[in-house]
Chain A
Amino acid sequence: MLGEGIVKGLAETARNFLGSFIEKDRLVTVQYPEERLPVVEAARMFPFLIYDGVDQEEGLRCVACQICEKECPPQCIHIEKSKDKKPDFIGKQQFYPAVFDIDVSVCMSCQICVEVCPFDAIRMDNEFELSTDDRFAGLLWPKEKLAMPNEHYLAIHPTEATEVEARRAEEKAQAEAKKASQPAAVAK
């Protein structure tokens, strides 16, 4: 019969419409910004630099090796190495970034910088509301703005961060054991 398909289709639409009053999973729209979905743990938006302790100048993990700058696909990272050195978490003297800028408008949230970083110094934040009305300075984030405490990392990526913490604790213990054994060797 001509029109049968249309009637069937309309019945389907009606079923969906009426079903939306009863079944919760038919109502999928979220009224952002009043309503928000929880951010998943794997979410990646924009990188931040981790620092240990309370002082962000002293605790910054980045040693300005510039691997991320080289590997960054859209080349949005700009690093200038320091002239002097400061001790890192295992007491080794390391350079630190005198300048570390990331351009928000160029970054494409690909996470390559995080993957290539050998010092666990850069990680992805899940903050996604990054718009600003200042299109020059407001979009070029300096290291002061990029630096975040380690607690923030532990809070947003708990599974991954605990693994990193354990590995770093082990490295530190090894370094201290080595240091403890070395003067003894010299004394012999």
Chain B
Amino acid sequence: MTQALPSEAEQDQVMEISMGPQHPSTHGVFRMDIRLDGERVLRLKPVIGYLHRNHEKIAEAASYLAAIPYTDRLDYLCSMTNNWGYALAVEKLAGLTVPERAEYIRVIVSELTRLQNHASVVGFLLQDMGASGTPLMYAFREREKVMDLFESLSGARMMCNYMRFGGVRVDCSAEWLSQAAKVVAGFNGFLDEFERLLTGNEILMARTQGVGVLPRELAINAGVTGPGLRASGVNYDLRKVDSYGVYGRFEFRVPLGEHGDVYDRYMMRVLEMRESLRILEQALRDIPSGPFMDPKARLRGLRPKVGEAYARIESPKGELGFYLISDGSPNPYRYRVRPPSLINLTVLEDMCLGQSIADVVVILGSIDIVLGEVDR
């Protein structure tokens, strides 16, 4: 059967555009095939794979240790949480325990990661909306302070390669902890400033409220996690649900949205930063002294028993999971990443249908994707 050709009038009105992969607001090399009626989106097809680096197969060919620096490059804004997710999976597989001090250090660096990720995401979102420069640069100014902390601790600003199976690579000094406490103390001031700058802004509200609504049921069914899910009003945070590490000991709340629109997703990030600061204050106060590595853990030649393990953590973007199968050899038989960015991206079309093309950019920015993690 031959397909009916669109009528001439339809051909005049419907336009197909390919947005990306070089478009500045697609956050990397991401392409969207969009069918437009005027400015209204009729269909949107995400095209991914431009940054595919064979991450999973490389990790299967390399030793367990050699995969850690590769996990840095998944979500390159949050290398610390990626390290943690992978280390947790291997620790489950190999039955290693983590000393108390290392658990606290992990919480501290992960919450610092959350701060800098959310700060830059909100900055980028505003940049996408046309607030060129100012919010992003304010966010980057604060992010740089966290980066400096990471650099003095791990030696690198972004590719930290910091966590090891059974602990962390180097201990943090008392001086570093006091520096971290200073950054944490100063961050609330930045958030106040940021909120004065933006939260009540009428242009921001007009651009974001009621735009890109993600219904609660769809969010759950599509497996969306992270701030995007909580903006739709679902109380699901792995730090509370799983209480991995020592998260059970800290007092913090999980901010929830009501409408599931872009504005709620923006507010989730700002509120989560405030909660992260609370966790950080408690962790920096309570951090015990002691060893930072499991004495049983060896750096090289890790050969876990035959078996499988899945570990998941609440990365700034959502549920980050690592699935490993060991066949008793020095490298995993199967290594699989459950990236939050990719799965959160699946609802992009549902959020964009019927919206204008300018809103597509804003909705994409509010999902918070990093292509290193989407394509792997």
Contact = CB atoms under 8 A, between A and B. Distances in A.
Interface in B179-215: 193, 196-205
Contact of A6 (B66, B72, B144, B203): B203
B69 interface: yes
Given A42-B151, A71-B300, A116-B300, A2 B202 contact: yes
B152 A109 contact: no
Nearest to B169: A115
A72 B155 contact: no
A73 interface: yes
A5 B68 CA distance: 45
Nearest to B72: A110
Contacts of A26: 141
Contact of B196 (A12, A108, A111): A12
A110 B160 CA distance: 8
A112 interface: yes
A72 B66 contact: yes
B315 interface: no
B145 to A, nearest CB: 9
Q: Interface on chain B toward A: helix, strand, loop, or mixed SS?
A: helix
B154 interface: yes
A67 B330 CA distance: 14
Given A8-B200, A71-B65, A43 B70 contact: no
A5 B152 contact: no
A11 B134 CA distance: 13
B347 to A, nearest CB: 29
Which has the most chain A C-beta neighbours within 10 Å: B66, B141, B152, B153? B66
Interface string A91-131: 00000000000000000111110011000000010000000
A43 B151 CA distance: 7
B32 interface: no
**Size band of the interface chain A makes with B:** 20 to 34
B138 interface: yes
Interface residues of B, number: 36
A106 B151 CA distance: 21
Interface string A22-62: 00001010000000000011111000000000000000000
Contact of B155 (A4, A12, A73, A111): A111
A4 B62 contact: no
Contacts of A40: 151-152, 155
A66 to B, nearest CB: 13
Contacts of B72: 110
Contact of B202 (A6, A42, A43): A6
Contacts of A16: 138, 193
B299 interface: yes
B366 interface: no
A176 B312 CA distance: 52
A67 B200 contact: no
Given A71-B66, A108-B69, 4 more contacts: A8-B200, A71-B63, A73-B67, A111-B161
Interface of A: 2-6, 8-9, 11-13, 16, 26, 28, 40-44, 67, 71-73, 108-112, 115-116, 124
10 contacts: A4-B200, A5-B199, A5-B201, A6-B203, A28-B144, A42-B151, A44-B156, A72-B66, A109-B159, A112-B65
